[in-house]
């Protein structure tokens, strides 16, 4: 892109439809948002009796902040229902040539978008992204489509807890290798001694 300059950027948003009731507070999270500031404002709002629901939304690198904020909110305010929905934001970037003879370029990107509804009142529990109060694992498990083990699985967590730290594992491997090397030397020495004895016995005979 040496001979191009960035031009117009067109965002084709597909708004996530989130069914809400009265008294809704919207929290828009960006990559530059500070979690401390977001939570300070959100916790004050959610404790207001007039606010019954709160919608957190973000895209791209801000998704991790959205998830962190919603999990902290649920730990601070008990009894919150959750509905999570995912989608994509289509972005078209146009690059203008700086040299004659070059054509205008169009680059398309799909950016993930997340929207999380936290509700004091029970929403539609048949929604695929619904998560009951006090439940932390179902949505994480539902997002995993690969054959790799779920990092939030209790058995996997217990196995990781029983597993020694990397430094200890390296020491054990090194010690095991040294033991194998010592055993190999001992076995070779024994074979050498046995061969010598057999040779001596044969000479005497």
**Cα angle 195-198-204, degrees, rounded to a multiple of 5:** 145
The DSSP call for residue 195 is: H
Please report, rounded to a whole number, the percentage of residues in the chain having pLDDT higher than 70: 65
Q: pLDDT tens, 7-26? A: 899 988 777 777 777 789 99
pLDDT at 192 over 80: no
Q: What pLDDT, on a 0 to 100 scale, did the predictor assign at position 185?
A: 57
Encoding tokens for residue 77? 């305010």
For all residues of the chain together, what is the average pLDDT?
A: 76
Residue with tokens 């939570």: 39
| pLDDT value of residue 67 | 94
pLDDT in tens, 45-59: 999 999 999 999 999
Q: What is the DSSP letter of 89?
A: E
Confidence of residue 100 (pLDDT cuts 50, 70, 90): confident
Q: What is the dihedral of CA 96, 102, 104, 109, to 10 degrees?
A: -90
Alpha helices in the chain (DSSP H): 35-46, 63-76, 138-143, 154-162, 166-204
Q: Is 60 helix (H, G, I), strand (E, B) or coil?
A: helix
For the entire predicted model, the pTM comes to 0.60
* % of the chain exceeding 90 in pLDDT: 41
Which residue, 101, 103, 54, is CA-closest to 77?
54
Fold of 4-132: Translation Initiation Factor IF3 (3.30.110)
């Amino acid at each position: 892109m040496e001979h191009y300059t960035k031009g117009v950027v067109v965002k084709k948003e597909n708004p996530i439809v989130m069914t809400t009731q009265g008294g809704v507070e919207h929290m828009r999270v960006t990559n530059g948002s500070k979690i401390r500031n977001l939570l300070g404002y959100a916790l004050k709002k959610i404790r207001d009796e007039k606010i019954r629901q709160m919608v957190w939304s973000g895209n791209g690198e801000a998704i991790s902040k959205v998830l962190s904020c919603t999990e902290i909110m649920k730990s601070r305010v008990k009894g919150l229902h959750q509905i999570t929905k995912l989608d994509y934001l289509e972005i078209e970037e146009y690059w203008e040539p700086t040299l004659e003879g070059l054509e205008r370029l169009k680059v398309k990107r799909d950016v993930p978008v997340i929207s999380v509804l936290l509700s004091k009142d029970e929403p539609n529990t048949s929604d695929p992204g619904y998560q009951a109060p006090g439940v932390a694992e179902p949505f994480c498990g539902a997002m995993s489509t690969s054959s790799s083990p779920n990092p939030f699985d209790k058995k996997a967590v217990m196995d990781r807890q029983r597993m020694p730290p990397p430094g200890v594992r390296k020491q054990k491997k090194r010690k095991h290798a040294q033991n194998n090397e010592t055993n190999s030397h001992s076995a070779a020495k024994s074979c050498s001694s046995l061969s010598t004895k057999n040779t001596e016995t044969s000479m005497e005979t």
